[in-house]
């Protein structure tokens, strides 16, 4: 069956089908069209038509993470989801919100704030990044320590599968997804299993009062002791991050929330537990992650066991003289390197693997394999891909192991 632009125009309207430019698709992939459906039914119809024509589909939100993963082997249709931008329901009494995938994260937070609520999802570009994109990439940062990973915030999803079927977790039972936890599968799958078109999210009350403080750990051994003491302290920070750069001492930022009196009590407990002097810090320090992305660079996401964070940073420093990073006590490090430093990726991966860690290329990797060697889970992931998308409609080759 031959499919061309007119077939998609009949579904979404001619104004919403445009020739694709290089910037519309992941680096290294040349798409033919950008198709922008206006609702879930149109998404399903576009996917159904593309699958019937043997075309590959690349779902796209705000385009802030197009470089994630490997270049797809094929990318005929960029499925732009920016028109799916409704907050379907904000059940503020139940602390939940159901939103379409194309809602920008910052716009959602502003709407939730009217009821003094928020969703602890994060992005380095919140004005552009969409809820669907944040979930599809499992993006997270300093809030993860307190609120958990993105998948813990997702109560339900609506997904368009590779044959155009609309599946809803907790609702319609679909033969080829029965028994799977759709929210967890779709979070972090990079759009390789289906198109996430809506999600129901867990919300939290906006803090009454917040204070950011700083600690200066000095050498790596002191950093390990300080992080261990912070974990054991009788406090629950809402955010913790480390700002690091080659040749400079680490800066540890901690944010506490509650009433002013409760914040003072937490700050005193942190000072006691870490045996350190704490100082007030400008809330602008939480933009450190966004600052990593201001200049073109080779961007890596390194993961390790939380207790091995200091060792992972030491490996990084030993391999390259130029680097900047933001790290989190959860064992995640985002690193900006010169493009010329690509040769360190393989030895860094080898060093991290010793503590069950990994290094994923987020951007600027050129010909580098984004994910590194596929581990023991590759066969399971291949079977799930086969179950959900046997014809390879969605992002073929973009994910770990070439799925």
Q: Which of 36, 154, 151 lies closest to 85 in space, CA to CA?
A: 36
| pLDDT score of 401 | 83
Greatest mean pLDDT among 63-67, 227-231, 373-377 lies in 63-67
The overall average pLDDT reported for the chain is 92
Q: What is the DSSP string of 333-359?
A: EEEEE-GGGGGGHHHHHHHHHTTT-EE
Q: Which of 104-108, 146-150, 170-174, 210-214 has the lowest mean pLDDT?
A: 170-174
Residues 321 and 349 reside in one and the same domain: yes
- Please report, for the domain that includes residue 190, its CATH number: 3.30.465.10
pLDDT tens-digit readout, 316-367: 999 999 999 999 999 999 999 998 899 999 999 999 998 889 999 999 998 8
Residues 106 and 195 in one domain: yes
346 belongs to a structural domain = yes
Task: Judge whether residue 206 has pLDDT over 70.
Answer: yes
- CA 394 to chain CA centroid, nearest Å: 18
Q: Which of 238, 271, 286 is the last residue of a domain?
A: 286
| One domain for residues 119 and 180 | yes
Q: Give percent of the chain with pLDDT exceeding 90.
A: 81
Last residue of a domain, one of 31, 63, 82: 82
Concatenate the DSSP letters of all residues of 171-212 into one string.
S---GGGTT--HHHHHTTSTTSS-EEEEEEEE-EEPPS-EEE
pLDDT at 377 over 80: no
Could you tell me if 101 and 54 lie in one domain? Answer: no
Task: Note whether residue 53 is domain-resident.
Answer: yes
Tally of domains in the chain: 4
Q: Show the domain range for 18.
A: 5-82
Residues near 110 by beta carbon (within 8 Å), at least 6 away in sequence: none
Q: Which token pair is 150?
A: 């993105």
Q: Is the pLDDT of residue 178 over 60?
A: no
- 32 and 129 belong to one structural domain: no
Q: In this structure, is residue 10 part of a structural domain? A: yes
- Residue 384 resides in a domain: no
For tokens 């929330």, the residue is: 257
* Shared-domain flag, residues 33 and 78: yes
pLDDT of residue 173: 36
Predicted pLDDT of residue 216: 85
- Which residue, 205, 226, 246, sits at the end of a domain? 205
> Are 40 and 123 members of one domain?
no
Do 214 and 201 have their domain in common? no
Inform me whether the pLDDT recorded for 189 exceeds 90: yes
pLDDT > 70: percent of the chain: 97
In a domain, 60, yes or no: yes
39 and 98 fall within a common domain? no
pTM of the model: 0.94
Residues 24 and 64 occupy one common structural domain: yes
Predicted local distance difference test score (pLDDT) of residue 386: 93
Query: Do 48 and 130 have their domain in common?
Result: no
Whether 92 and 173 share a structural domain: yes
For the domain that residue 76 is a member of, what is the CATH number? 3.30.43.10
Residue 348's nearest CA partner among 322, 375, 377, 313 is: 313
Average pLDDT of the residues in 21-42? 95
390 within some domain = no
For residue 150, give the H/E element and its range.
Answer: none
Q: What is the pLDDT of residues 55-95, one digit of tens each?
A: 999 999 999 999 999 999 999 999 999 999 999 999 999 99
């Amino acid at each position: 069956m031959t499919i061309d632009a007119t077939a998609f125009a009949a579904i979404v309207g001619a104004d919403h089908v445009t020739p694709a430019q290089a910037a519309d698709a992941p680096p290294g992939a040349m798409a033919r069209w950008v198709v922008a459906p206006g609702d879930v039914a149109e998404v399903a119809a576009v996917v159904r038509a593309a699958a019937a024509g043997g075309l590959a589909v690349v779902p796209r939100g705000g385009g802030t993470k197009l470089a994630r993963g490997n270049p797809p082997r094929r990318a005929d249709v960029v499925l732009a989801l920016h028109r799916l931008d409704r907050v379907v329901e904000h059940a503020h009494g139940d602390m939940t919100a159901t939103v379409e995938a194309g809602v920008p994260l910052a716009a959602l937070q502003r709407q939730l704030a009217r009821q003094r609520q928020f969703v602890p999802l994060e992005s380095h570009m919140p004005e552009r990044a969409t809820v669907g994109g944040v979930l599809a990439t499992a993006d997270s940062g300093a809030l993860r320590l307190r609120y958990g990973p993105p998948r813990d915030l997702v109560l339900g999803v609506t997904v368009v599968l590779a044959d155009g079927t609309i599946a809803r977790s907790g609702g319609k039972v679909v033969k080829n997804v029965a028994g799977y936890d759709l929210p967890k599968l779709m979070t972090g799958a990079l759009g390789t299993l289906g198109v996430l078109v809506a999600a129901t999210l867990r919300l939290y009350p906006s803090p009454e009062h917040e204070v950011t403080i700083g600690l200066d750990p000095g050498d790596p051994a002191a950093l390990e002791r300080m992080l261990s003491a912070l974990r054991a302290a009788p406090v629950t920070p809402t955010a913790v991050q480390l700002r690091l750069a080659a040749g400079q001492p680490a800066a540890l930022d901690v944010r506490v929330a509650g009433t002013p009196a409760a914040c003072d009590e937490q700050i005193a407990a942190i000072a006691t537990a870490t045996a350190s002097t704490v100082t007030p810090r400008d809330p602008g320090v939480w933009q450190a992650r966004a600052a990593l992305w201001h200049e073109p660079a080779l961007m890596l996401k390194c993961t390790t066991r939380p207790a091995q964070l200091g060792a992972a940073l030491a490996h990084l420093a030993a391999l390259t003289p130029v680097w900047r990073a933001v790290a989190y006590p959860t064992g995640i490090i985002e690193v900006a390197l010169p493009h010329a430093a690509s040769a360190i990726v393989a030895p860094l991966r080898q060093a991290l693997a010793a503590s069950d860690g990994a290094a994923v290329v987020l951007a600027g990797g050129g010909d580098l394999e984004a994910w590194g060697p596929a581990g023991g889970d590759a066969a399971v992931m291949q079977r799930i891909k086969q179950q959900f998308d046997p014809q390879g409609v969605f992002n073929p080759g973009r994910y770990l192991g070439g799925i």
